[in-house]
Amino acid sequence: MTASGTRTPDRVALDELGEWQRALRAQFPIITGHPGLAYLDSAATAQKPRAVLDAVHDYLTTSNANAGRGTYPWANRTTDLVARGRDRIKRFLDDPAPERSAVHFTSGTTEGLRTLARDWLPRFLADGDEIVVPVADHRANIEPWLEARRLLAAQGVHVGVRPMPYQRDSGDYDHTALAELAGPRTRFVAVTHVHHVYGGDMNVHRIRRAVGDDAVICLDAAQSVGHLPVSVAGLDVDFVVFSGHKAMALPGTGAVWARQVRGPEFVPGGWSGTPNTVGVASLTAALDWLDAAGTDRIERWTAALAARLTDRLRHLDGYEILGCRTSLAADSPVQQRRGIVTFRHREISSGDLGFLLYSHGFMVRSDSHCQGSAGEQTDSVRVSLHVYNTADEIDRLLTVLASVG
Query: Site residues (CB under 6 A) for ligand PLP?
Result: 43, 108-110, 138, 140-141, 192, 196, 220, 222-223, 243
- Closer residue to ligand PLP, CB minimum distance, 195 or 300: 195
Phi-psi region of 348 (alpha: psi -120 to 50; beta: other; left: phi over 0): beta
The three-state secondary structure class of 191 is: strand
Distance CA 382, CA 392 (A): 18
- Closer residue to ligand PLP, CB minimum distance, 78 or 389: 389
E strands, 78-213, in order: 102-106, 130-133, 160-163, 186-192
- Closer residue to ligand PLP, CB minimum distance, 287 or 391: 287
- Closer residue to ligand PLP, CB minimum distance, 223 or 350: 223
- Closer residue to ligand PLP, CB minimum distance, 140 or 210: 140
DSSP states along 129-140: -EEEE-TTSBGG
In angstroms, what is the minimal distance from the CB of 366 to ligand PLP? 14
E strands, 109-195, in order: 130-133, 160-163, 186-192
In angstroms, what is the minimal distance from the CB of 43 to ligand PLP? 6
- Minimal CB distance to ligand PLP: which residue? 108
**CA separation (Å) from 193 to 72, 106, 227?**
42, 19, 11
Kindly report the backbone phi and psi dihedral angles of residue 342, in degrees, each rounded to the nearest multiple of 5, phi listed first: -120, 140
In angstroms, what is the minimal distance from the CB of 52 to ligand PLP? 16
The three-state secondary structure class of 29 is: helix
Distance CA 328, CA 363 (A): 22
- Closer residue to ligand PLP, CB minimum distance, 258 or 398: 258
In angstroms, what is the minimal distance from the CB of 194 to ligand PLP? 7
**345 in Cβ contact with 405 (< 8 Å):** yes
- Closer residue to ligand PLP, CB minimum distance, 43 or 322: 43
**47 in Cβ contact with 39 (< 8 Å):** yes
In angstroms, what is the minimal distance from the CB of 350 to ligand PLP? 17
In angstroms, what is the minimal distance from the CB of 5 to ligand PLP? 39
In angstroms, what is the minimal distance from the CB of 65 to ligand PLP? 27
User: Would the CA dihedral through 305, 308, 314, 318 be positive or negative?
Assistant: negative
In angstroms, what is the minimal distance from the CB of 108 to ligand PLP? 3
In angstroms, what is the minimal distance from the CB of 242 to ligand PLP? 8
- Closer residue to ligand PLP, CB minimum distance, 78 or 384: 384
In angstroms, what is the minimal distance from the CB of 284 to ligand PLP? 18
Distance CA 153, CA 99 (A): 36
- Closer residue to ligand PLP, CB minimum distance, 64 or 203: 203
- Closer residue to ligand PLP, CB minimum distance, 10 or 238: 238
**37 in Cβ contact with 376 (< 8 Å):** no
Residues forming beta bridges with residue 219, ordered by sequence position: 191, 240
Q: Which residues of 381-391 are buried (b: 16+ CB within 10 A; e: fewer)?
A: bbbbbbbbbbb
Q: Which residues of 18-38 are buried (b: 16+ CB within 10 A; e: fewer)?
A: eeebeebbebbeebeeeeeeb
